[in-house]
Chain A
C-alpha cells in the first residue's frame, strides 16, 4: 500500500488529525482514530478478513487477562496452549491446508482439487506478534496490555500490519500510552527513511524485477549467464524490496512518534551466514531465536542438539515464508550453512581472518545462490536455472547482455555499490537532511518523487513480502 498514490493522499489528511490529537494530548482519542484508520486500511487490502484480525485481538486479549490473573500454573499453561493452538491453527489453515492436502494426495494417489483459500494479508506477521505477546506475558517478561484498545492498536498498527516488521509487545505497548514530544528530528528522520524506502522499492527493486521476472518465469529461454544475472538481480531486488518496505513502515511509525527498531542492518556486508541472519529481517530472526530455537534448547544441550535445533528453526523459518518445498529447501540449506559455520568456528575458534573479501564473497554467493529456491515458481524452475548456470553458461553472452541491457546492468552495479557503502555515509546524509532548511527538504523530496515517477512502471508492483 505504501507505493500507491491513494495511501499518500490519505496520509496527507491523516497527519493533521493525528497531530491535533498529539497536541491536545488526547491519547485515547488518538488510539481510537489510529485503530480505525488501521482497520480501514486492512479492510481495503483484505476485505472482511479484517474481522479475523479483530477476533484474534479479542481472543488474545481476554485469554491473556484470564491467564495473567490466574495463579494456578497448570491453568495458565492450558490457556497458553489454547492461545498458541488457535494462532498456529488459523495460520496453518490459511497457509498450509492446500500444501499438505496436495502432498498427502500425491502420496496416496488421490485426485485433490485445491481449496479456494485466500491468504489474508499480514496473517503471518500478526500471528507471530500475537504468539510473542501471549508467551511473553505467560513468562512474565512483559506486562499485559492495559486495555483492549491498546492491544488492538498494537496488533493492527497500519505501518506494519501488512508485512512487518514483527514488533514485540514488550517494546511497543509501553510506547502507546507514553506522551512523547514529537520533534523535528523524529519527523524528518522518519521522512528520510520513507524516501530511502521508496527509492529502494520503486527505483531499484521494481526496475530490476522487470528482467528478473522474465528469467524466473521461463528459465528455459535463457543461457546460464543470463540466469546468473537474473539471480544476482533478484538478490538485490529482494533486499531493496523488503528493506524498502521496512524503511517506509519504520519511517511512518517514527513520524507518528513510535520506535519500531531496525529490521535490516546491511545484511549483504556479512562475512558469514550467522552474521547474515543477525542482519537480515532482524525482527523475524530474533523471533525465531526467542520462540523456537531457545525453547528447543538452543545451544545448551550439546553440539548435536544445537545443530538439530538450528536446522529445525530454519526449516520453520523457510516454511513460514511460503507453503512449498522450495521454501523448505531454502530454509534447510540456510540451516546447513549455519551448522557448517558453527562447526567451522568450533574448530578454528580465535583465528583472526584478516582478509575479508573471500568470506564476504562466499557468504554473498551462498545467500544469492539460495535465493534461487526462494524465488523460483517451483522446484523444477529452480533446478532448470541451476542446470542452465552449470551446463550452459555461454560466456559469449556477456558482451551482448551488457550492450542490450546496459540500464539494468548499471542499476544492478550501482545498487551493489550502494549496498556496500559504509552506514556512516548514509547517517551523514540523513543528519544533513534533518538539519537542512525546509525549502531544501522540499526540493529533495520533489526530486525523490520525480525519480520514483521516472522509474515506476505503470503497474504498481506489490511488495514481495505481502505474499507471506
Chain B
C-alpha cells in the first residue's frame, strides 16, 4: 500500500498546486501567458439550441433592392459549402457572385494582407459577405483580434456587408463576441448554437447542412437590413460566377 500512498500524495499534490495556480488571474513567463487548469477545464461543449431558420415562413422582411447586383463572398474554408448555395441564390436572382476561399485564413490574415481591398477594387461588388472566425474559435488572444476585425471593416468601407459567424462545434474563447461587438447585431449572423451535420473532419458542415446554413443567413438577412434580391432558387446549388482559391500560405 505504501507505493500507492506515495502515488496518491503525488497526484493530489499536483492537483492542489494546479488548482491553486489556476486561481491566479494571469501568470506570464517570459511574456507568455501560462495556461491554467481553469482555462483548460472551461472548454465544455456548447448546448446546440438554435434551430435553422425556415426561409419559406419569413414574412417580416425589409424591402429589398430588386436590381441585379455584384456580390463578393470572402472568408475561410467554410465559404466553400456556403458559396454553392449562395451561388444558386445569385443565379436565380440575376446577381453575379465572386467567391474567394482562403483556406486556413483568419481575421489576422485578411486584415494584414490587404486582399479584401484588392478584390473589392477588382470586382467592384455592391454587397459583401464574409465568413471568418472558424480558425480562431479557440485562440487564447481573442480580444487581440479586435483590431483585425476593425481593419477588415475599414477595407469594406461604405459597402453593405454581413459577417457570417463560425459554426462552433464547441464553445469558443471569444471570437464571436469580438466580431459581434465590433460590427453590431444587424450585420453579424451568429452561427454558434446552430445544429450542423458535420463532414468527416468534424468541423465543416456537410453540403446539405451548409445549404441550410446559407438559407438561414438569407432568411435572417431579409429581416435585418436592405439587401439584394434574394428569392428562393429552384435549384439547390450552383457554382459562383467566379471562385478564387487561396492556400493557407498565400
**Closest approach, in angstroms, between the C-beta of B74 and any C-beta of chain A?**
16
Query: How many chain A residues touch B (Cβ–Cβ < 8 Å)?
Result: 43
Q: Which of B1, B12, B34, B245 has the most CB of A within 10 A?
A: B1
- CB pair B17–A15 under 8 Å, yes or no, is no
Give the contacts of B182-225 with A (CB-CB under 8 A): 200-201
**Closest approach, in angstroms, between the C-beta of A14 and any C-beta of chain B?**
11
* Residue numbers in B under 8 Å from A413 (CB-CB): none
Binds B, one of A111-119, A264-272, A414-422, A443-451: A443-451
Q: Given the complex of chains A and B, what is the CA–CA distance between A318 and B73 in angstroms?
A: 43
Q: Given the complex of chains A and B, what is the CA–CA distance between A18 and B3 in angstroms?
A: 12
A355 at the interface (CB under 8 A from B): no
* Residue numbers in B under 8 Å from A109 (CB-CB): none
- CB pair A449–B43 under 8 Å, yes or no, is no
B118 at the interface (CB under 8 A from A): no
Give the contacts of B29-46 with A (CB-CB under 8 A): 34-37, 40-41, 43
Q: Given the complex of chains A and B, what is the CA–CA distance between A313 and B136 in angstroms?
A: 45
- CB pair B7–A15 under 8 Å, yes or no, is yes
Q: Given the complex of chains A and B, what is the CA–CA distance between A397 and B250 in angstroms?
A: 11
- A sample of 21 inter-chain contacts (CB < 8 A) reads A12-B8, A15-B4, A15-B11, A16-B4, A18-B4, A20-B1, A182-B1, A182-B4, A184-B6, A187-B4, A191-B7, A214-B103, A218-B103, A221-B245, A397-B249, A438-B6, A442-B17, A446-B14, A449-B18, A453-B36, A458-B40
A72 at the interface (CB under 8 A from B): no
**Closest approach, in angstroms, between the C-beta of A256 and any C-beta of chain B?**
10
Residues 441-468 of chain A: 1 if any B CB is under 8 Å from the residue's CB, otherwise 0?
1100110011001101111000000000
* Residue numbers in B under 8 Å from A438 (CB-CB): 6, 9-10
**Closest approach, in angstroms, between the C-beta of B37 and any C-beta of chain A?**
7
The tally of CB-CB contacts under 8 A between chains A and B is: 94
- CB pair B4–A213 under 8 Å, yes or no, is no
A183 at the interface (CB under 8 A from B): yes
* Residue numbers in A under 8 Å from B249 (CB-CB): 226, 397, 400-401, 404
Give the contacts of B164-179 with A (CB-CB under 8 A): 169-170, 173
* Contacts A456-B40, A459-B170; A217 near B201 (Cβ below 8 A): yes
Which positions in B face A, CB cutoff 8 Å?
1-15, 17-18, 34-37, 40-41, 43, 77, 103-104, 138, 169-170, 173, 200-201, 245, 247-249
* Residue numbers in A under 8 Å from B34 (CB-CB): 450, 454
Q: Given the complex of chains A and B, what is the CA–CA distance between A188 and B10 in angstroms?
A: 10
* 8 more CB-based (< 8 A) A-B contacts, given A184-B3, A450-B18, A453-B37: A22-B1, A187-B3, A404-B249, A445-B11, A445-B14, A446-B14, A458-B40, A458-B43
A89 at the interface (CB under 8 A from B): no
* Residue numbers in B under 8 Å from A222 (CB-CB): 247
Q: Which B-chain residue is minimally distant from A377 (CB atoms)?
A: B200
A255 at the interface (CB under 8 A from B): yes
* Contacts A16-B4, A213-B201; A446 near B173 (Cβ below 8 A): no
- CB pair A221–B248 under 8 Å, yes or no, is yes
- CB pair B247–A221 under 8 Å, yes or no, is yes
Which positions in A face B, CB cutoff 8 Å?
5, 12, 15-16, 18-20, 22-23, 182-184, 186-188, 191, 213-214, 217-218, 221-223, 226, 255, 377, 397, 400-401, 404, 438, 441-442, 445-446, 449-450, 453-454, 456-459
Q: Given the complex of chains A and B, what is the CA–CA distance between A446 and B40 in angstroms?
A: 15
Q: Which A-chain residue is minimally distant from B247 (CB atoms)?
A: A221
Q: Given the complex of chains A and B, what is the CA–CA distance between A217 and B9 in angstroms?
A: 44
Q: Which B-chain residue is minimally distant from A11 (CB atoms)?
A: B11
Q: Given the complex of chains A and B, what is the CA–CA distance between A446 and B20 in angstroms?
A: 13
* Residue numbers in A under 8 Å from B3 (CB-CB): 182-184, 186-188
- From A5, A183, A191, contact of B41 by CB (8 A): A5
Q: Which B-chain residue is minimally distant from A20 (CB atoms)?
A: B1
- CB pair A442–B14 under 8 Å, yes or no, is yes
* Residue numbers in A under 8 Å from B173 (CB-CB): 458
- CB pair B10–A441 under 8 Å, yes or no, is yes
* Residue numbers in B under 8 Å from A453 (CB-CB): 35-37, 40
Q: Which B-chain residue is minimally distant from A456 (CB atoms)?
A: B40
* Residue numbers in A under 8 Å from B2 (CB-CB): 184
Q: Given the complex of chains A and B, what is the CA–CA distance between A15 and B1 in angstroms?
A: 10
- From A20, A255, A457, contact of B7 by CB (8 A): A255
Q: Given the complex of chains A and B, what is the CA–CA distance between A226 and B11 in angstroms?
A: 42
**Closest approach, in angstroms, between the C-beta of A408 and any C-beta of chain B?**
12
Q: Which A-chain residue is minimally distant from B15 (CB atoms)?
A: A12
Q: Given the complex of chains A and B, what is the CA–CA distance between A217 and B37 in angstroms?
A: 31
Q: Given the complex of chains A and B, what is the CA–CA distance between A123 and B178 in angstroms?
A: 45
**Closest approach, in angstroms, between the C-beta of A289 and any C-beta of chain B?**
33
Q: Which A-chain residue is minimally distant from B77 (CB atoms)?
A: A218
**Closest approach, in angstroms, between the C-beta of B27 and any C-beta of chain A?**
11
